[in-house]
Amino acid sequence: MKRVFKYRFYPTDTQAVELSRTFGCVRKVYNLALAARTEAWTLRQERVTYNATSALLTGWKKTEELAFLNEVSCVPLQQGLRHLQAAFTNFFAKRSRYPRFKSKKRSRRSAEYTNSAFRYRDGRLTLAKMTEPLDIVWSRPLPEGASPSTVTVSRDSADRWFVSLLCNDVIPETTATGAVGIDAGLAHLFTLSTGEKMANPQHERADRARLARAQRNLARKEKGSDNRAKARLKVARIHTRIADRRRDHLHKLTTRLVRDNQTIVIEDLTVRNMVKNHTLARAISDAAWRQFRTMLKYKAEWHGRDVVTVDRWFPSSKLCSACGAQAEKMPLNIRQWTCRCGVVHDRDVNAARNILAEGLSVIACGGGVRPQRESSRTGQSPVKQETRRVTAGIPRL
């Protein structure tokens, strides 16, 4: 299995200049190739392949206007063309939108190197066109005997430099027998079917005042000035602080859940639609439910766990996990409720238990299996109603 190990590094001034030049050349080649492919299709209905754009790159390097492309390694430029080819493949397969041009200010600044463009020996990584190795902070060791096949260098909006190493990794097999249902929320980030509630750190709210001050300071600066660049950097660093803390918290939660349980059942939440509620949009975005689900799925795949998704319309909060009766209404302000069978439910714990039961039924029977619940009109279960119809000689409609 291939895994990416990401580390922060601190380049020298010479390395920073070389990498920044490489980022610009990669962006330039990508945009030129995209323009050529778009023009060929628009004017001549002709599809340009990767091999054709690679030949165009050779011609561009020979022109006086684009001769600067020869100053950087050719491998990141070729990888940029491969990424464009993958973008068109996804577009024609209707998996993504039409590729867009890369922006100097908004697009991700990165360059990818393959085996022929870097040297990795004894924990020292040297890129093509460079004489000194990168000063990498090895926060965790690479797998024993692992050698990176691809290296990606990137720079984020807070001017931090990162290097990502793609390696083959063998994850040790672990056994787990537990099953857990997870109900997402805002007061508590997640509630487990075991009754445990995980607190919501609300990272964005903790830095909201600090972020607002930095943004007001940025708005007062003149566009294009050095002071505006400094103010923008302060805003970016606050955003990255919030994102890093949120990501770290979700990594710890998902790792623990995957290690302790064989089956994990979650809800199929449509976060894109939920954030249209302007009252809760900020809190929902800060909770990062979608990011949690993504982490949970790929970690479960690593460890051989099962992640089951319950239909979004499943009434987990309205169903009684004891008798299966369904309440007619369940407003958000009701956090505890008593079923007609006499059981007092915590709203979130009850929902998590129903989610787990529904997920196990999906595994066993393909879904759609729910506890028998009483009819809202007669107060009797469907089995009892059917028995009365047969006894009275009433045909079933």
Q: Which of 156, 34, 164 is nearest to 107 (CA)?
A: 156
Structure tokens at 73: 């390694």
Tell me which of 18, 112, 183, 358 is the catalytic residue.
183
Angle of helix 208-219 versus helix 226-260 axis, rounded to 10: 150
Structure tokens at 321: 């996990």
Structure tokens at 141: 């060791």
Query: HSE-up of 101 (CA within 13 Å, CB side)?
Result: 11
Three-state SS for 167? strand
Q: Identify whether 18 is a catalytic site residue.
A: no
Sign of the four-CA dihedral 277, 280, 281, 287: negative
Would you say 70 and 61 are in contact if contact means Cβ atoms under 8 Å apart?
A: yes
Tell me which of 18, 204, 286, 348 is the catalytic residue.
348
The dihedrals phi and psi of 96, each to the nearest 5 degrees, come to -155, 175
Tell me which of 18, 267, 286, 374 is the catalytic residue.
267
Q: Identify whether 65 is a catalytic site residue.
A: no
Sign of the four-CA dihedral 314, 320, 324, 327: negative
Would you say 286 and 202 are in contact if contact means Cβ atoms under 8 Å apart?
A: yes
Burial of residue 27 (CB within 10 Å: 0-12, 13-18, 19+) is: buried
- Residue 190 contacts by C-beta under 8 Å, 6 or more apart in sequence? 182, 183, 184, 197, 198, 253, 292
Three-state SS for 221? coil
- Kind of pairing between the strands at 178-184 and 124-127: unpaired
Q: Identify whether 207 is a catalytic site residue.
A: no
Q: What is the rounded distance in angstroms from the CA atom of residue 166 to the CA atom of residue 261? A: 28
Structure tokens at 373: 């619940």
- Measured at the alpha carbon of residue 119, what is the angle toward residues 73 and 122, in degrees to the nearest 5? 155
Report, as residue numbers or ranges, the catalytic residues.
Answer: 183, 267, 348
